[in-house]
Amino acid sequence: MLDSGARPQGSPFGRVLLGSYLMRRGPARAARGPQKRMFGVTLCKMSCTVEVRGVINLSIPIVLPVSTEDKEKLSGLKALTLSYEGKRVAILRNPEFFEHRKDERCARVWGTTCTKHPHVKMVMESGDWLVGGDLEVLERIRWEDGLDQYRLTPLELRQKAKEMNADAVFAFQLRNPVHNGHALLMQDTKRHLLARGYKNPVLLLHPLGGWTKDDDVPLDWRMKQHAAVLEEGVLDPKSTIVAIFPSPMLYAGPTEVQWHCRSRMIAGSNFYIVGRDPAGMPHPETKVDLYEPTHGGKVLSMAPGLTSVEIIPFRVAAYNTKTKSMAFYDKEKHSEFDFISGTRMRKLAREGENPPDGFMAPKAWKVLTDYYCSLEKNY
């Protein structure tokens, strides 16, 4: 038996629960379990695999690290039980152990081996071996956090869109609170789809629900904020599906954005909105963008196995000080625009101040200030 014990979900070994969900219920179900040696080699070197049905894009390795002690103890067994915090989650059949080439994995996935990158640190601290095999999930994975009703599988999302009579689904990936610039882009996408002849385009608002950095707003507060945006009518509740994408945030830039796109594609999305520097972060030492900001969108336009989804580039929006609203940036009127950074937004919320009128729906902003006030009370 392999048991993750009480290790946090963010640790590589502690993702047994999440990995089981992604591989049997979620977007990684093309993989029959944690990747075996040759399947993993193919994906690590090529970011995809080729099957009878065509090319399958799986840019992020889904692997299960184990210690040398566990490897020696479990080698030769025909099946392993995977458990999370003492509860049996899945059975891994025909297990295969192989070397965990950490430097190569990090260099290929993240483009760096700097251990100050949060996920590189996790990989380097994980076991020296990987175990792959065929996964049998024993029952539907539940987090029991009051949000499980939002964790819909790809098939359930397709069914939901069908029930709403959607003739197009456009997906928006996010790990941050929704401000009116995001909403402007989603509203504009819907207008363009209607102009192209679609009768009922539906938005899939699909916030990332796995591990994120400590300075990101937690999932439960983000879901409250998204609900407030819908309540105020900034986004149309009647043509919006809100669901949680239970993947961790890897901060792997253009490599990760393929995973994000494919996950929405198999959930029925025809259109995927991609922004500047998707899944990116500053280099932890130099503070310069770790990835070239336009490469995510360019990679998606060429990536194998993503041909059934159309990529919609993220137009830059900023706060227009004249109209007192979020608007698409016009370089000819540069002096009219105020680029409100995430750092500045968080500072305003922490200090209980309001942003400029038109930056975010008032009820949605109140959720953010409540969150930061709750942090102050805990100190």
Q: What is the pLDDT of residues 208-249, one digit of tens each?
A: 999 998 889 999 999 999 999 999 999 999 999 999 999 999
- To the question of domain 148-378 being in CATH 3.40.720.10, the answer is no
Q: Model confidence over 118-139: pLDDT tens digits? A: 999 999 999 999 998 888 889 8
**Residue 9: its pLDDT value, please?**
41
Neighbours of 367 (CB within 10 A): 22
* Sequence spans of domains, the chain: 2-137, 148-378
What pLDDT, on a 0 to 100 scale, did the predictor assign at position 315?
A: 87
Q: Give residue 82's identity as a one-letter amino acid code.
A: L
Q: Rounded to two decimals, what is the model's pTM?
A: 0.89
- Which runs of E-coded beta strand occur in 37-128? 48-51, 54-57, 65-66, 79-84, 87-99
Q: Output the six-digit token pair for 246.
A: 């239970």
Reduced to 3 states, what is the DSSP secondary structure of residue 268?
Answer: coil
The pLDDT of residue 342 is 83
- pLDDT of residue 280 exceeding 70, the answer is yes
Contacts of 244 (CB under 8 A, 6+ apart): 147, 150, 151, 152, 206, 207, 208, 209, 219, 223
CATH class of the domain defined by 2-137 = alpha beta
| Residue 63 pLDDT exceeds 80 | yes
Residue 374's nearest CA partner among 355, 356, 349, 337 is: 349
Q: Determine the Cα–Cα distance for residues 200 and 239; give it in Å rounded to an integer.
A: 8
Q: What is the pLDDT of residues 303-322, one digit of tens each?
A: 989 989 999 988 899 999 99
- Decide if 337 contacts 318 (C-beta within 8 A): yes
Q: Which of 4, 18, 26 minimizes the C-alpha distance to 267?
A: 26
The two beta strands, 129-137 and 87-99, are antiparallel
141 pLDDT band, cuts 50/70/90, is: confident
